[in-house]
Amino acid sequence: MDRLWTDFVNSDYHDWRGGDRSEDRLAKPEWQQWFLEQWRLQASIPASIEDETSMRKFRNELQAVATRLSEGASLTDEEREWLNAIMEKGRGHRKLSVDEQQLRVEWIPVGAHWQQVMAEVAADFAITLTQGEGARIRICENADCRWVFYDDTRSRTQKYCDDKMCGNLMKVRRFRAKRKGEQQK
């Protein structure tokens, strides 16, 4: 299951197949457009150099926190204060609306800028933590991939960001290594 904060963190792309290709999608206007549309957020495209720098710093720090949590650590007071400072930059109000005959409360952001977007990302991450789900944060065990993901399996044992991609790749690599070891005997 994709989440706002995992899509943002994973904008730092690495070739999961083991190639040397990697790219920082955060700086690409096409990715910015996709991300904003995907999560119904608004900001200017392309982001300014200052906004890109802020987003990159935020992404790297958020990835570091997620990595620590994936290793079983607890959120520190400093990390909590940092998240609060990021969320504080986002302003908005709530609105009661009807969606397909169903009442719902919406959060309507006041600003259409990248600081607001980062506040929304931080809030989504904080919601994951408040729901007691920090223990479900994982880093893909494919060392070439390094994607952060949320383990939504019942058993909480998901190892790869995607079983069809990284999972199959790692299974094939293990099989080939085992076969090669048997042939060398």
Nearest to 46 by CA among 60, 31, 24: 31
CATH of the domain at 119: 1.10.3300.10
Give the pTM. Answer: 0.79
CA separation for the pair 123, 88 (Å, rounded): 10
Amino acid at 108: I
Q: How many CA atoms lie within 13 A of 170 on its CB side?
A: 16
Whether residue 170 has pLDDT greater than 60: no
Q: What is the pLDDT of residues 39-62, one digit of tens each?
A: 999 999 999 999 999 999 999 999
Length of the chain: 185
26 with 117: CB under 8 angstroms? no
Q: Which domain holds residue 51?
A: 4-183
What phi-psi label fits residue 146: left (phi over 0), alpha (psi between -120 and 50 degrees) or beta?
A: left
CA separation for the pair 144, 8 (Å, rounded): 19
Structural domain tally of the chain? 1
Q: What is the pLDDT of residues 108-164, one digit of tens each?
A: 888 889 999 999 999 999 999 988 777 788 888 777 777 788 887 776 666 666 666
CA separation for the pair 155, 73 (Å, rounded): 20
Q: Kindly give, in sequence order, each residue whose CB lies less than 8 Å from that of residue 161, ignoring residues fewer than 6 positions away.
A: 16, 138, 140, 142, 145, 147, 149
Which pLDDT band holds residue 79 (cuts at 50, 70, 90)? very high
Over residues 63-91, mean pLDDT: 94
